[in-house]
Homo-oligomer: A and B are copies of this chain.
Amino acid sequence: MALRWGIASAGNISSDFVQALKGLPPGEHRVVAVAARALQRAQEFAGRHDVDRPYEDYRALAQDPDVQVVYVGAVNSQHFEVATLMLQHGKHVLCEKPLALNERQARRMVELARSRNLFLMEGIWSRFFPVYRRVRQLLDASAVGEPRFVSTAFGDRLEDLDRVKRKELGGGATLTLGVYMLQLQQLVFGNLQPLKVAVAGHTNEEGVDVAAAATFTYPGQKIAVLSCNASLEMPNEALIIGTTGAIRIPDFWCPTSFSLNGEVRKMPLLDNQGPFNYQNSAGLAYEAAEVRRSILAGEIESPQMTHKESIQLAGWMDLIRKELGVKFRCDFEDWDSSELN
């Protein structure tokens, strides 16, 4: 039976997500509605992707009884608001990364999902790529001994994009790029708690981070070193070094190959020619498949990307932003006051 999707926001990533669903077996996924803040954009999206019901209002989408699960592809600053609205109306939610602007918002979203027995997942699509599944197996099998070092660099020339440079949209290199690096070290070091986080970086005129670097130390001589940069093209490769070997993952946020001790293994994407806006977006299908599996199994979180991990990621990003002096409005608001506009 088809999982019935509603799409919140009609931007580039939402378009890629819907296009990616077309790479999965027919009958498994159906997009039944799309909402944008301008009706024309929703209609254009609906026409392009053959979606029945375009809405100019997220609330209308939330109230559509035919929608089972909503993909939230809005800008960062709307994730909390839109996902909360959907959960309040009984919809399961797959929300683009970062799940929220800060840890407090992330906790509220998780609490709401749990209280309603609804599925909620942060769209860390990387986690569901075949490369990640294989790397996880290799780490579990001690293929590189004990992993002790993770380094990632992730940079692209994005600093002039509104969604990256503007504070009120929840911009910044950390929320845009850093989250991918943080999720990888989280995957490698599992449940360990960092001993210390050392942070450095630069902010733009609006006070949003353009470049950030963080070093996490963990017990057992473990270290993770992360650099993200919204003003430079970087190699975008991850490196995991263990006591007996090393894994490299080119394009680590959407990888199609990795190497183990220098031996390259290719793991091509599903066959889906798009059109797509972003690199390897066909791979969004992997997370969509996991959402379907989880919901059909009655699970409210995916074991591949848990609520606890999302809360930890949000907390780490809070910490990095704090060190760099990047503060969002929601950071100053009381827990008890409504964070919905």
Contacts and interface: CB of A to CB of B under 8 A. Distances in A.
Interface of A: 148-149, 151, 153, 155, 196-202, 210-211, 213-217, 221, 223, 225, 227, 229, 231-235, 239, 241-243, 246
A155 B241 contact: yes
5 residue pairs, one from A and one from B, having the closest CB atoms: A200-B215, A198-B198, A198-B200, A213-B215, A202-B221
A18 to B, nearest CB: 35
A225 B223 contact: no
A79 B227 CA distance: 35
Contacts of A217: 200-202
Q: How many copies does the complex hold?
A: 2
B241 A223 contact: no
A152 to B, nearest CB: 11
Contact of A198 (B199, B221, B229, B231): B199
Given A149-B229, A229-B149, A223 B239 contact: no
Contact of A221 (B210, B216, B227): B210
Contact of A239 (B202, B211, B235): B235
A211 B243 CA distance: 13
A149 B202 CA distance: 12
B225 A213 contact: yes
A231 B223 CA distance: 12
A214 B225 CA distance: 9
A316 to B, nearest CB: 14
Given A148-B232, A232-B241, 6 more contacts: A151-B153, A198-B200, A200-B215, A201-B223, A202-B223, A232-B243
A236 to B, nearest CB: 11
B199 A223 contact: no
A213 B23 CA distance: 43
A234 B239 CA distance: 9
Given A223-B200, A241-B155, A233 B246 contact: yes
Given A151-B153, A153-B151, A196-B200, A221 B231 contact: yes
Contacts of A200: 196-198, 215-217, 223
